[in-house]
Amino acid sequence: MCNKVQRISLTEKQQIALHQDMPYMVVDSCIACEMIYLISKGIRTLECCCGHGKQLAYALIMSESHDAMIDLGYVPVKEANGVYRVLLNGE
């Protein structure tokens, strides 16, 4: 849990895959390492939050990353809008 954010640098390819306008993404510091790992594995994330002590850390991922997340040991849960929610390991 943290009250800090961190910039994650994105390659041009990652930027396109994640539909980010800027060459970086801002995430909560305590899940930054895990998000860098997931993005480096080609996971397409929509949003993430560490929960700030009120809920568990999670990320929303696009449906095409479902199988890859299972291969990485995560448990994607389908949301109403066709995206998947995964709990992050956090810090």
Rule CB under 5 A: say whether 39 interacts with Zn ion. Answer: no
Tokens 């995560």, residue located = 74
Tell me the window of 7-15, 20-28, 35-43, 71-79 that interacts with Zn ion (CB under 5 A). 20-28
Check residue 35 for interaction with Zn ion (CB under 5 A).
no
Among 17, 25, 39, 50, binds Zn ion (CB under 5 A): 50
Give yes or no for a contact between 32 and 10, defined as CB atoms under 8 angstroms apart. no
- Residues 87 and 67 sit within 8 Å (Cβ to Cβ): no
Q: How many residues does the structure list for the chain? A: 91
Q: Other CB atoms closer than 10 Å to residue 85's CB: what's the count?
A: 15
State the minimum distance, in angstroms, from the CB of residue 90 to Zn ion.
7
Q: Does 28 bind Zn ion (CB under 5 A)?
A: yes
Which residues of this chain interact with Zn ion, rule CB under 5 A? Answer: 1-2, 28, 30, 50
